[in-house]
Amino acid sequence: MKHRFRKCEGCADTADIDSDHNLLIAKFHTRLKKIIRFQKSRPIWDLEKLYDQRQRVQDTLEEKLSAIECESGNAEVQWKNIKERVLDTISDLVGKVERVRKPWITQEVINKMDKQRKWKNVNNEEGRQNYRRLKTN
State the Cα–Cα distance between residues 107 and 114, nearest whole angstrom.
Answer: 11
Of 13, 16, 12, give the one whose Cα is nearest residue 29.
12
For the chain, the structural domain boundaries read 47-93, 107-136
DSSP 3: G
pLDDT in tens, 64-102: 888 776 666 688 888 888 899 888 998 888 888 877 777
* Closest alpha carbon to 48 in 94, 101, 100: 94
Query: Rounded to an integer, what distance in angstroms lies between the CA atom of residue 56 and that of residue 66?
Result: 16
What's the CA gap between 1 and 8, in Å, rounded?
Answer: 10
Give the confidence band of 59 by pLDDT, cuts at 50, 70, 90.
Answer: very high
Q: What is the mean pLDDT of residues 18-42?
A: 76
Nearest CA to 29 among 10, 54, 11?
A: 10
Identity at 48, one-letter amino acid code: E
Residue 116 and residue 131: Cα distance in Å, rounded?
6
Cut 0.75: pTM above it? no
